């Protein structure tokens, strides 16, 4: 991190439903809405702490793929490998997001069009989709 371009966001606690106990369609998704100030778009790196728990069965090859879009145009894709997670454990990890530079025109559009910036987070265990979260983002500084 250099010259104040790094931010650590507050913890985001995500209850993880053990994949062997799920009785819902993982594609049904869950939704989160984020609100940031315009200054957020100028950051190059952001750290986010994620907390999750694992049920009675160990989880092998746990992975998250996250894709961020503005008006359906892919801005950045992230791929995080958690690997093996022991049963009955509470886990915390910090993701460091490296953001691409954005043009001034794109930044202006993203500020003027709240919630047109969106993301999909796909969670996999042994290459099988177990959860899908959706989020949208406002950079206008308010609700």
Burial of 52 (0-12, 13-18, 19+ CB in 10 A): buried
Does the structure show a pLDDT above 60 at 141?
yes
- The per-residue pLDDT for 143 is 56
How do the domains of the chain map onto residue ranges? 6-18+31-138
CATH fold of 6-18+31-138 reads: Coagulation Factor XIII; Chain A, domain 1 (2.70.50)
Residue labelled with tokens 């990890």? 93
Please tell me the distance from the alpha carbon of residue 68 to that of residue 9, in angstroms, as a whole number.
17
Tell me the per-residue pLDDT of 41-84, one tens digit each, with 9 for 90 and over: 999 999 888 888 999 999 999 999 999 999 989 999 999 998 89
- Mean pLDDT, the chain, rounded, equals 82
Q: Of 23, 17, 13, which is closest to residue 57 (Cα–Cα)?
A: 17
Burial of 3 (0-12, 13-18, 19+ CB in 10 A): exposed
The structure's pTM equals: 0.73
- The per-residue pLDDT for 52 is 86
Answer yes or no: are the C-beta atoms of 21 and 47 closer than 8 Å.
no
């Amino acid at each position: 991190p250099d010259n104040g371009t790094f931010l650590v966001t507050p913890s985001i606690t995500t209850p993880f439903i053990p994949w062997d106990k799920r009785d819902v369609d993982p594609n049904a998704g869950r939704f989160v809405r984020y609100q940031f100030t315009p200054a957020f778009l100028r950051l190059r790196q952001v750290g986010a702490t994620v907390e999750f728990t694992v049920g009675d069965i160990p989880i092998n090859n746990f992975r998250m793929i996250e894709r961020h879009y503005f008006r359906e145009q892919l801005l950045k894709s992230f791929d995080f490998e958690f690997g093996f997670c022991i049963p009955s454990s509470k886990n915390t990890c910090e993701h460091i997001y490296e953001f691409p530079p954005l043009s001034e025109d794109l930044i202006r559009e993203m500020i003027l069009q709240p919630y047109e910036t969106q993301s999909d987070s796909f969670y996999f265990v042994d290459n099988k989709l177990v959860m899908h979260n959706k989020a949208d983002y406002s950079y206008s500084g308010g609700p």
